[in-house]
Structure 1
Amino acid sequence: MPLKLKGKIYKSVIRPVILYGSECWAVKKMDEKRLHVAEMRMLRWMCGVTRMDKVRNEYIRGSLKVAPVTEKLKGNLLSWYGHVKRRDETHVTKRVLNLHVDGCLDGEEEGGRGRDGWIV
């Protein structure tokens, strides 16, 4: 099977499965790194290349015509944010986005971190 066709199958079948529900994820750097590693393992496997062959990731991506999964993840997050911002003010997602919690000043918690910092 040609590599370009494998790249199309990856983009249309595998990547949507990997990024399912990613619009609502609270993504950390470690999560992005894990997604990148998992994606590169799949792409290398599709190309029949091992790490011992010392082929650069950029070359593998270029031969399959695939963009990094982290870029698509950020695109999904921004797309969802724009969708929520366009909602009317009475919709529940818009109300949660604009939620203000009493007792917190500018997003800072009262007290310190951990169990002892909470006021019950």
Structure 2
Amino acid sequence: MSMGGKQEAKNTWWWNDEVQRAIKEKECFNRLHLDKSAANIEGYKIAKRAAKRAVSVAKGQTYDNLYQRLGTKEGEKDIYWMARIREWKTRDINQIKYIKDGVDRLLVRDEEIKDRWREYFDKLFNGEEEGPILELDDSFDDNNRCFVRRIQEAEIEEALRG
């Protein structure tokens, strides 16, 4: 059974061959589940440390190169590119830019889109055609209504004791 929602993709743009090799070596120790000997456990720990170290070194080198490149004239373009990507990632995916009207004509202006949604929900909630308005039955008897007073805390305590 699957639990949870969609898993976010890992950000691995900085991976190089050394990191890839270290991760593969660490994954080779999946046999640890079959044989939990001391040698397998120690080998897994060593591979895990090596993979972490390789990831840390690769990230550090990549970010250093990125910061040096951003300091140059060509890096200015990269700054705008990174800002654009960040904006795309934070953009609301539920934002609708265009819809079709009743006759399959594409609507792109905000006013037209709002009017189309208003028309859609009007038809949805009020029905396609205007029918007769039903009068509510007003035949209940007012004499059968009575008011009940609130129960006091002292009454509850007395009922619980007795």
Q: If the length of structure 1 is used for normalisation, what is the TM-score? A: 0.39
Higher relative contact order, structure no. (Cα contacts within 8 Å, ≥ 6 residues apart) = 1
